[in-house]
Amino acid sequence: MRIRRNGELEAELAEIRDYLQSMQEQHEAANEELQAANEGDE
């Protein structure tokens, strides 16, 4: 039973890592858009 639980936790951790990677990419893209908009206002 413990081995199965570890596998479940590893799968959940992989999903969380993917989610965080996606969030980081979206954050970087939003920052780039804001930076471009600010440069356009100058």
pLDDT interval class at 3 (50, 70, 90): confident
Q: What's the N-to-C CA distance of the chain in angstroms? A: 62
pTM over 0.85: no
DSSP-derived letter for residue 1 is: -
Amino acid occupying residue 18: D
Confidence (pLDDT) at 20: 98
Instruction: Examine the pLDDT at 1 and tell me if it is beyond 70.
Output: no
